[in-house]
Amino acid sequence: MAAQLKERLKDAVKILGCGSALFLGYLTASGDERFYASTLMPVLQKLVGAETAHVMAVRLLSLGLVPRSCYQDPASLEVNVMGQKFRNPVGIAAGFDKHGEAVDALFRLGFGFVEVGTVTPKPQEGNPKPRVFRLEADQAVINRYGFNSCGLLAVQERLKARARIQSELTRAGKPLGINLGKNKLSTDAAADYLEGVRTLGPLADYLVVNVSSPNTPGLRNLQGKEELRHLLEKVLKERDSLQEASRPPVMVKIAPDLSQQDKQDIAEVITELDVDGLIVSNTTVSRPETLQDPKRNETGGLSGQPLKELSTRTVREMYTLTKGKVPIIGVGGVASGQDALDKIRAGASLVQLYTALVYQGPPVVRKIKRELHELLMAQGFTNVSEAVGADHRTSEGVAHLHDPEKHSTHQDSKSAAVS
């Protein structure tokens, strides 16, 4: 009798074990938001180091192992900017798929656009390891990768192989961005960016001139007024020399750690040269006093929740300085629909995320889109474009309340803009 009972208990354990494994497999494959954020991602973080997890994630995605996403983007999320259609405004920021290995899988996760890179002309290893650190207590990451890149030619070959697929995706509202950088030991930064434009420009729906990573010595000096003007004049000339069908918009990615004068200078150069857009912002070298994780003093760029307010404030300032005429992609601490809407209302036409993927997993993409749609409807917007810069219009309205003439003029101009 005891032996029979023991065997039955063994069978029960096996059945329960198999059932649990199947259930966990279902939650993983179906992309259950709560399971990923509260169970799977925390467990993986305890078992796997930050950079190893990053490499594994890109590898699994490149093999097509993607959680199922059945979410259909509502019409409210479609954005038309820089001559491109974006099915939804939520993109994956540069730094995740550095070598263009997982583009199609990232689109299947539900991203409205994918930005690969940063890509440097020659292959380079980047900075010594360890160079990536999770700050779990702060929902943040510090990285000092240093533009580890397989180089332009390897990325060109990879993207060329899927050029026809990307052409179809672009028409469907899923553009591809390519982020360009310079080699660490290069003595001619402009030449590096021009080589990137020539090599990858024909494969991109937009190009990004990254002059704001804190992990390449001297790179942020290129944000100085004369240095930036000199660089962008050459980059735009090189872009314009490409065949007409292969001339992508050019954007500039800036740091959040800029003085007011720096921001004014950048806005002047961007508008004077008719640069197509801004990405605001890269990681920060600042360390807010609110940081709690013991790894908070590691050298590198800080991303995630502690960057959120700083990057949103920089979006707001750059929108004002460019008079709302330059499209902005808002990056930094986007982990919810509210985070996305905050950046959109501050002046961003599109947003990107990366660190939220580390803590919430692939389902975060669907969550942000769903929440953003609900918030837009609740606040009386029929689409994303109506919400872009809304905070500026609200503050202007408040400022004009005590001046009927100015208030009337503001309403007339707003009506004209809407019509």
Catalytic residues: 213
Residue 297 DSSP class = G
The residues with which 303 forms a beta bridge, in sequence order, are 141
Q: Identify whether the C-beta of residue 229 lies closer than 8 Å to the C-beta of residue 271.
A: no
DSSP string, 371-402: HHHHHHHHTT-SSHHHHTTHHHHHHHHHHHTT
- Residues 182, 211: Cα–Cα separation, whole Å: 9
CA-CA distance, 366 to 372, in Å (whole number)?
10
Q: What is residue 93's DSSP assignment? A: P
Distances (CA, A) of 338 to 23, 29, 368: 31, 26, 8
**288: alpha, beta or left, given left = phi > 0 and alpha = psi -120 to 50?**
beta
C-alpha span between 79 and 327 (Å, rounded):
11
Tokens matching residue 225: 């007024």
Closest among 130, 280, 149 to 212, alpha carbons compared: 280
CA separation (Å) from 404 to 187, 212, 397, 401, 407? 58, 44, 11, 7, 5
Find the DSSP H helices in 31-138.
33-35, 41-47, 50-62, 103-108
